[in-house]
Amino acid sequence: MTGEALFIGIDIGTSGARAVVMTASFDVVASASARLDAFSPNHRDPAAWWSAVQSALSQVLVSVERKQIRAISIDGTSGTVLPVDASGAPLAEPLMYNDPVSDRAILDAIAANAPESSAAHGATSGLAKLMHFQTIRSVAHIIHQADWLSGHFTGLYNVSDENNALKTGYDPIERRWPLWIGSTGTHMEMLPHVLPAGSPISIISAQAAAAFDLSPSVVIVAGTTDGCASFLATGADQPGDGVSALGTTLTVKVLSDRPLFAPEFGLYSHRIGNMWLAGGASNTGGNVLAHYFDNAQIERLSASIDPATDAGLDYYPLLRDGERFPINDPAMKPRMEPRPDSDAQFLKAIFEGIANIEHMAYGRLAGLGAPELRSVRSVGGGAKNVVWSAIRARKLGVAMPPVLSEEAAAGAARLAIQGAKSSGVL
């Protein structure tokens, strides 16, 4: 491996940090992780974030030629915000991605001024959290989780990326902080400087280079959200490439050559290079399967299912009333009757129902302006079921290539490669 340029992606999530080392041809040559609870029982503790990042990074550096590292990029949880002083020291416990702001005056000010299509609406938005923090004594910057961690490598704590900034009200089309933000009472000077994801921020600080025994020419690259990084990790990179996450719920995302905004579906677009990443989340998914079957039962029953034929049942599998996407109807009823006598047929009908919703979801995205679907990559626990995959392939009617990685850190590493190229070190 001597002489080969290497790139690092770091992902910080709710349970820990992960680091991968990748070559310019996207081969992962090392990876490591560190749990947050090894450093603190509180996942909101920024010191634990940094300790976990240090641990994961130190582990991967042991197995590679660290002087060949050219660039580093970090992704973090979308909508996690913290206030810091001029030196980057946190001044309050961060508000995490799902922590709501309860101040009605803040929420009303945003609702009255933000365009309908803005991702800044809602109690968990980054803008609501910024406004909550902006009156803290000595606050200099209010930034996102990935921004703060990148600052440990650059010494700059006022730089963000277009994806993390989206829920704080950033306009990805005009590529600026819009003027309406000031009308909410936001202190505009608290907003970070925003770069496109994958753009160089600066070279590594002398302190960080010495701490990790890295070259002083390593480039620190603007990162992204964990969701965008996970999409990039799969290898999807062309307009019409979709990724379906078959987890507790069903999430579909597609790369588009134009932005898609549909507030009635909670749909907005992240800018990635010259393309846009848009998607939606249904209330169907693995939660329905888990309600009726355990993993062993699913595996056993799947063996007797013929994926080439239909069960003849038109299910819309939901655990309770209400759907978000591809149908926005909070009163929508589950449709899971009649139930066949055969458990295998019942499982097959659920598989087909979720696959039909997935097909409908990509159709909805196309109806909103997304390009024609050309491929779907699959992640999450459901992607491992070959029978369900065969049913989905029949319903979707497009290529279903394997994912290159399910690690968000691998997506961040791809951004590090992009930043290295644009900065001229690769």
CB 60 within 8 A of CB 29: no
Structure tokens at 84: 């810091």
- Identify which of 213, 232, 206, 182 has the alpha carbon closest to the alpha carbon of residue 411: 232
Which architecture does CATH list for 236-396? 2-Layer Sandwich (3.30)
CB 400 within 8 A of CB 362: no
Burial class (CB in 10 A: 0-12, 13-18, 19+), 300: middle
Structure tokens at 74: 């970090």
Instruction: Compute the distance between CA of residue 244 and CA of residue 387 in angstroms, rounded to an integer.
Output: 16
The pLDDT of residue 203 is: 98
Structure tokens at 83: 């206030």
Instruction: Compute the distance between CA of residue 269 and CA of residue 281 in angstroms, rounded to an integer.
Output: 14
Q: Where is 10: in which H helix or E strand?
A: strand 6-12
Note the Cα 300 to chain centre separation in Å. 33
The pLDDT of residue 426 is: 80
Q: Where is 231: in which H helix or E strand?
A: helix 226-233
Instruction: Compute the distance between CA of residue 168 and CA of residue 336 in angstroms, rounded to an integer.
Output: 40
89 CB-near residues (< 8 Å, 6+ apart): none
366 CB-near residues (< 8 Å, 6+ apart): 372, 373
305: three-class secondary structure by DSSP: coil
Instruction: Compute the distance between CA of residue 230 and CA of residue 11 in angstroms, rounded to an integer.
Output: 10
- Identify which of 359, 358, 364, 353 has the alpha carbon closest to the alpha carbon of residue 317: 353
In this chain, the answer to whether the domains covering 6-228+408-423 and 236-396 adopt an identical fold is yes
CB 415 within 8 A of CB 8: no
The pLDDT of residue 425 is: 84
224 CB-near residues (< 8 Å, 6+ apart): 73, 75, 146, 161, 163, 164, 197, 198, 232, 270, 272, 411, 412, 415
Structure tokens at 122: 């809602």
The pLDDT of residue 1 is: 42
DSSP 8-state secondary structure symbol assigned to residue 14: S
The pLDDT of residue 305 is: 98
The CATH code for residues 6-228+408-423 is 3.30.420.40
- Strands in 241-246's sheet, in edge-to-edge order, are 269-272, 275-282, 250-256, 241-246, 375-379
Instruction: Compute the distance between CA of residue 377 and CA of residue 400 in angstroms, rounded to an integer.
Output: 5
3-state helix, strand, coil in the chain (%, to 5): 35, 25, 40
Give the residue ranges of the chain where pLDDT is below 50: 1
CB 266 within 8 A of CB 325: yes
Give me the residue spans of the domains in the chain: 6-228+408-423, 236-396
Instruction: Compute the distance between CA of residue 64 and CA of residue 365 in angstroms, rounded to an integer.
Output: 42
Instruction: Compute the distance between CA of residue 221 and CA of residue 180 in angstroms, rounded to an integer.
Output: 29
Q: What is the 3-state secondary structure (H, E, C) of 61-85?
A: HHCCCHHHEEEEEEEECCCCEEEEC
Instruction: Compute the distance between CA of residue 212 and CA of residue 62 in angstroms, rounded to an integer.
Output: 10
Instruction: Compute the distance between CA of residue 147 and CA of residue 151 in angstroms, rounded to an integer.
Output: 6
The pLDDT of residue 2 is: 52
310: three-class secondary structure by DSSP: coil
Structure tokens at 342: 């055969």
Residue 2 neighbours by CB distance under 10 Å:
6
Claim: this prediction has a pTM higher than 0.85: yes
Instruction: Compute the distance between CA of residue 173 and CA of residue 152 in angstroms, rounded to an integer.
Output: 29
Peptide bond into 326 cis (omega under 30): yes
Degrees to nearest 5, angle at CA 308 with 307 and 310: 80
Amino acid at 59: Q
